[in-house]
A and B are shown apart, each in its own frame.
Chain A
Amino acid sequence: MREALFPFFNWLGHTPLAEIIRSSAALIALGEIIHLIGLVLLAGTVLMVDMAMLGFGIRRHPVARIAAELDGWAKAGLVILLVSGPLLLTSEARKCWDASFFWIKMAVLVAAIVFHFAVYRRTALADPPASRIRAGTVAVISLVLWISVALAGKMIGIYGDDLRQPGEPVDLAAAATSRTAIAPASQTGNPPTYRQVSANTAMKTKVKIQRSATEDRTSFRYQAR
């Protein structure tokens, strides 16, 4: 599945939209800020409804009433995330395709969304309310799923390697068609790729990945300390 999607990711990373977003640090930052606000909106509301289901937090009224009042805001947060996320993805499609945590995030995200609409909302909005045990279990599962999505998302930025073969030289055939992957330094004299740099970091050499603007999206600059 992942290999089959490579041409799509490669195309995505070279669309005019991707080039525009990638060309501006301000646009990337703006996209990330909007994504983060969507996360705060979704996770903040889900967290408080979860707490109500677990018997903490707001509890003057039945959970269903609280959930109904906040349902619109949770959906708004989800929409913001699902619009800003793919836009950010286009700007670093190749890096995401490389990163195992991106695929983990997508898998958990699908599970979280399915669970949210198929089970969670029905339980939270149920009238008469679901049993304490059922509501509590559903709340905990929802919490774990959404936190995992956020964590995996954060991990893409921290550890962008393919976990199956960390630090392996990049696929040269793919590199030829993608400007975001560069052949190993030993073969071309180019700077190391993100994958190679982060593999070095994992080996505790004194290399620190620079978190700087647009170049993050193409090849990672690095600096010896």
Chain B
Amino acid sequence: MRNSNWLFDVTETIHSLGIILVAGTIMLVDLRLLGKGLRAEPVSHVVARIVPWTLSGFALMFVTGAWLFASEATKLYRSPAFRVKLILLALVGLNALIFHLTIYRSAAEWDDVRIAPLRARIAGWCSLILWIGIIAAGRSIAYGPGYDG
């Protein structure tokens, strides 16, 4: 793949535009939790209808990302931005896991509330901030030290 520029470019294009599918969709769930969008919809309905899009987008990102990584593994290993991105990805996964295992279990009680309870709002804020961080770290890989060495 390293020797095939167009294959790299196609994969990178899918990977960079795929962020719309992942971050763009989960952002709407976050906004619902924060009471800043889709307020008329029950939280569980928004989660059930949007999260499958996020997950399929994530699968696409994971596959293309792993492919890109394989072609530049040694460069990326040295890139601080890439390490930060991996840590933020782990944190965003942890955040989603905690949300689903704790406060979301009682979602039936606050499904129709316009602004979700504090713990759900904290999860929403964490998700928004972490995804912005992931976008920033991902974009920074191309600029950071270690990449053009």
Contact = CB atoms under 8 A, between A and B. Distances in A.
B38 A58 contact: yes
Chain B binding surface SS class:
helix
Contacts, number: 102
B74 to A, nearest CB: 14
Contacts of A204: 5
B27 A36 contact: no
A113 interface: no
Nearest to A155: B13
A151 interface: yes
Contact of B147 (A26, A44, A212): A212
Contacts of B88: none
Contact of B50 (A57, A151, A201, A211): A57
B64 to A, nearest CB: 13
B142 interface: yes
A37 B38 CA distance: 20
A151 B17 CA distance: 8
A contact patch SS: helix
Given A48-B50, A211-B148, A40 B45 contact: no
B24 A201 contact: no
Nearest to A30: B136
A60 B139 contact: no
B18 to A, nearest CB: 11
A208 interface: yes
Interface string B27-47: 110010000011111100110
Interface of B: 3, 5, 9, 12-13, 16-17, 19-21, 23-25, 27-28, 31, 37-42, 45-46, 49-50, 53, 132, 135-136, 139-140, 142-143, 147-148
Given A26-B143, A44-B24, A201-B5, 17 more contacts: A36-B19, A37-B132, A37-B135, A39-B20, A40-B135, A57-B50, A58-B41, A58-B50, A65-B40, A66-B38, A69-B37, A147-B17, A150-B17, A151-B17, A155-B13, A206-B3, A208-B5
Interface of A: 25-26, 28-29, 32-33, 36-37, 39-41, 43-45, 47-48, 51, 57-61, 65-66, 69-70, 73, 147, 150-151, 154-155, 158, 201, 204, 206, 208, 210-213
